[in-house]
Structure 1
Amino acid sequence: MKRSLVLFVAAVLLTGCGGGGGGASEEGGAPSKVTIEWWHLSTAEPLKTLWAERAKEFMAQNPNVTIKATVLENDAYKAKLTTITQSGKAPDIFATWGGGVLQQQIDAGLVKDISADVADVLPTFTPASLSAYQFDGKTYGLPTDIGLVGFWYNKKLFEKAGITEPPATWSAYLEDVKKLKAAGITPIALAGKEKWPGHYYWAYLALRIAGLEGLKQAATDHDFTKPDFLAASQQVKALADLQPFQKGFLGAAYSTPDGQAATVSNGKAAMELMGQWAPATQKDAGKGLGDDLGFFPFPAVEGGKGSASDAFGGGGGLAVGADAPPEALQFVKYMTAMENHSKAVVAGGVLPVLKGEETSVKDPNLKQVASLLAEASGYQLYLDQAYPPAVGAQVNDSVAELIAGTKTPEQVGQAITEVAKSEG
């Protein structure tokens, strides 16, 4: 099926720490010892184990190489990476969401242009998965995952509330939230402490109401006070006013045993708005819903300028630090080779980034995500990665305050605009 992909990115900051030296031969012709610093945030199974296995295999095949992995959860990863990059360093290999974040790292001279080195394997990747890591015809990373954000829900709890099918429109979604509450069911789990999960609601509503062009225009004119953005904030407030989230959500994390993923996984909330990694994180953090777990895309907003088939989300990839040894790039290529990467697809840890991997997707919900992605009319990267760092942080902060009731819809647009103009 033909895919029209519109990937909107703008400048952003965030990156990685210093390299491990070259692999020149020692006396006698043996390769010199090389240590590769690899940072990633795959703390949940199956990727936690799978990535460790790939590193172990690579080291067995390359006895002179030691891969030292630093594995952190999302917020800790971002914080540590920001601290390191502010010192002008980057890890030899580091996880990246691509887009504007990666562009800023490139501009800072922290990322290696790997175009020539990966020219032989580029044709094996899908264009959509590569797009976030390519700028001005050059490649600065290889993808390991791609997907979109949507609602993961408990079929039994929906049935208990008398909901016979997932909502197709935002007004129907709000009505379903009311039905769940009326049935004594907590409708939504939210990691209010971490803020980024909350920004998904505002971002998707902005995408549905203002459309991709509206978000693209805002990156240029730095104006988030327009009626469409105000409407997005008003709809987030309309949702928050229903008090749909679990008790204590403002202090809840995402992947902890009492966090957002576990709350859904343990049947204590009916749904969460999350990316393609949700099933794996739910299973890792809680009991898991098994066949009772379902998925539906973010609903259409009546009268909105955006298409219901426009997707919001992103993937994950691996970038190579500017000072990394050649062995670092060899490991990135090893990780993304079909025979290795497809194991992660089969295990349900990631979605296909290589042509022909589609048949490796076994989970029915992930098959649906892959299908929606293939049919997407447009694609919007996470706003806290697409916009400049201060702007992305302000989006997260303002939406969190809106949900908590300490900011009005008008103040949200004003706050983001003020930061955007100062950055622009």
Structure 2
Amino acid sequence: MDQKRTSRRSFLALAMATPLAATTLAACGGSAGPGQAADGGATIWFLTGQPKEDVRNQSVDSFNETSESGDLTVAAYQNDAYKTKIRTAIGAGQAPTLIFSWGGGSVRDWAEAGQIEDLTSFVDENPEMRERLFEAAWIPGEVDGKIYAVPHETVQPVFLYYNKKLFQQIGAEPPATWADLMALVPRFRAAGIAPISLAGQSRWTTMMWLEFLVQRVAGTEAYQAINDSQPNAWSNPDVLKAFSMAQDLVRAGGFVDGFNSVVADQNADQALLYTDKAAMLLQGSWCFGSIKTDGGTFVSDGNLGYQSFPVVDGGKGDGQSTVGNPAQYYSISSKASDEQKQIARDYLRDGVLTDEIATAFINEAGEVPIVNGIDDQLAAAEDGDFLSFIYDIASNAPFFGMSWDQALSPTAAEELLTNIEQLFGNPDGFTPQQFADSMNAVSQQ
């Protein structure tokens, strides 16, 4: 792909265990409180999971080495544990100084409750921050035209990973359409291979199947109506059809046996792919680094394939649009002291995505930082083909749908995940209409 010819304007369509050991003790407990450093300094919470965890720690360590305002103390948590812990901490007024999120509904709720700082003037006073990052990445951090969360890290579309060796074993091609995917299920089953790996216990992984089906079947407007919590958005007939198609896949045995007991936080769904137990995996770009790191020679032997989600014949949605995370975000707790807030602002300005850290995300994590002007660097990287694939998806997508559990309010998001668990776990006892009725009610609260 010619990176220089790809328009960045199309990015305008883009629009949370166990803590770490010694370095987290001051941030995680003791008399200082769960969100406070023992020495009164600033705190930052983010997610575990290699290789990105190492890059995040590099960013903080590098900042602390030169910071004149003070140091940041780190605590890291697994994804699902973090989502629960951060809600509890913010509600109790014990949030860390810097609050990690994916933008959207959580940021709006925190902003409206006065729990996070308005960062608009800070960003305006440092225009190079905004100019350096993808413009569209700022959108999920805005509330009513004001900035409450600064984007950082990487753009993370979701797509279909597949095991080339297993496809070769049954003499099949990756699915271009939904009908192709459904036809592959009995073929893989007959060969003793799980067609699709799914970490169903984590629920948000299952959500991605519904998101793509809604976009492909019902179209972009229907997807956005859900994200905007429009009345009766969930009972759109095409949305209900998409949910029925997902249940058809469950009934057909599309997912690995016992998928509701598989957990994404331990990367068990990825392991099923690279150990030749499952042929496909719908996941985000964040998985590539861990598949490469944990999968032995799976990637280097050329066994990993990837492609966009299949199209649905007769559907209203295009096949180029995607879903996922336009970026990750940091907000500053309004409960922090002036000194802590200053450290946090300095980190957002000088430490989050330096050239060194952006390069580490590319070379160590195998992801695309939300930094302008790195086209040539992506193409020249060891995993240049994969990085170009990610960049191509994000830059050419007519629509980049924000994940539902981040776009919705935390209350609606939890109800969503509960309903998803029932929709997939009990396909003959829980109907798409029951799902829609529940979500229509909670979305208006």
1:402 to 405, 423, 442: 423
C-alpha contact (below 8 Å) 1:145/1:317 kept by paired residues: no
Task: Give the Å deviation of 1:18.
Answer: 5.2
Q: 1:288 to 1:85 in 2, by over 3 A?
A: farther
Task: Give the Å deviation of 1:77.
Answer: 0.5
Q: 1:176 to 1:369 in 2, by over 3 A?
A: farther
**Matched residue SS, 2:314:** coil
Task: Give the Å deviation of 1:295.
Answer: 0.8
C-alpha contact (below 8 Å) 1:93/1:319 kept by paired residues: yes
**Hey, what's the Cα distance between the residues in 2 that align with 1:111 and 1:147?**
25
Aligned to 2:79: 74
Task: Give the Å deviation of 1:247.
Answer: 2.8
**Hey, what's the Cα distance between the residues in 2 that align with 1:367 and 1:18?**
39
Q: 1:155 to 1:50 in 2, by over 3 A?
A: same
The answer for unaligned runs of 5 or more in structure 2 is 1-6, 16-33
Paired letter, 2:342: P
1:281 to 282, 285, 290: 290
1:350 to 350, 361, 367: 367
**Hey, what's the Cα distance between the residues in 2 that align with 1:198 and 1:222?**
22
Aligned to 1:317: 329
**Matched residue SS, 1:273:** strand
C-alpha contact (below 8 Å) 1:202/1:232 kept by paired residues: yes
What does residue range 9-20 of structure 1 map to in structure 2 within 5 Å? none
C-alpha contact (below 8 Å) 2:69/2:342 kept by paired residues: no
Aligned to 1:3: 10
Structure 1 position 247 matched with structure 2 position 257: yes
**Hey, what's the Cα distance between the residues in 2 that align with 1:262 and 1:185?**
14
**Matched residue SS, 1:271:** strand
**Hey, what's the Cα distance between the residues in 2 that align with 1:125 and 1:4?**
11
Aligned to 1:145: 154
TM-score of the superposition, structure 1-length normalised? 0.88
Aligned to 2:3: none
Q: 1:357 to 1:139 in 2, by over 3 A?
A: farther
**Matched residue SS, 2:195:** coil
2:120 to 115, 122, 141: 115
**Matched residue SS, 2:10:** coil
Paired letter, 1:412: F
Task: Give the Å deviation of 1:270.
Answer: 1.2
Aligned to 1:179: 187
**Matched residue SS, 1:255:** helix
Task: Give the Å deviation of 1:100.
Answer: 2.0
Aligned to 1:308: 319
What does residue range 34-183 of structure 1 map to in structure 2 within 5 Å? 35-41=41-47, 43-62=48-67, 65-118=70-123, 119-120=126-127, 121-140=129-148, 141-164=150-173, 166-183=174-191
**Hey, what's the Cα distance between the residues in 2 that align with 1:176 and 1:224?**
29
Q: List per-residue Cα deviations over 1:284-316 (Å, max 9, x = no partner).
A: 555462121111111111222222122111131
Q: List per-residue Cα deviations over 1:86-110 (Å, max 9, x = no partner).
A: 2244321122101222121111212
Aligned to 1:379: 400
Task: Give the Å deviation of 1:187.
Answer: 1.1
Task: Give the Å deviation of 1:420.
Answer: 2.3
Q: 1:63 to 1:128 in 2, by over 3 A?
A: closer
**Matched residue SS, 1:325:** helix
Structure 1 position 331 matched with structure 2 position 347: yes
Paired letter, 2:430: K
Paired letter, 1:397: T
Q: 1:128 to 1:182 in 2, by over 3 A?
A: farther
Q: List per-residue Cα deviations over 1:24-54 (Å, max 9, x = no partner).
A: xxxxxxxxx752210001x222222222222
Q: 1:217 to 1:247 in 2, by over 3 A?
A: closer
Q: List per-residue Cα deviations over 1:53-94 (Å, max 9, x = no partner).
A: 222222221377332211111100001011112224432112
**Matched residue SS, 1:116:** helix
Q: List per-residue Cα deviations over 1:145-198 (Å, max 9, x = no partner).
A: 11211111111111112123x222111121123322232211111111111100
**Hey, what's the Cα distance between the residues in 1 that align with 2:51 and 2:60?**
15
**Matched residue SS, 2:53:** helix
Paired letter, 2:245: Q
Task: Give the Å deviation of 1:204.
Answer: 1.1
Paired letter, 1:179: R
Paired letter, 1:343: A
Paired letter, 1:332: L
Identity of aligned residues (%): 26
**Hey, what's the Cα distance between the residues in 2 that align with 1:185 and 1:250?**
18
Paired letter, 1:354: V
What does residue range 210-225 of structure 1 map to in structure 2 within 5 Å? 210-218=218-226, 219-225=229-235
C-alpha contact (below 8 Å) 2:161/2:280 kept by paired residues: yes
Structure 1 position 207 matched with structure 2 position 215: yes
C-alpha contact (below 8 Å) 2:193/2:278 kept by paired residues: yes
C-alpha contact (below 8 Å) 2:103/2:329 kept by paired residues: yes
1:236 to 221, 246, 271: 246
**Hey, what's the Cα distance between the residues in 2 that align with 1:288 and 1:88?**
47
Paired letter, 1:170: W
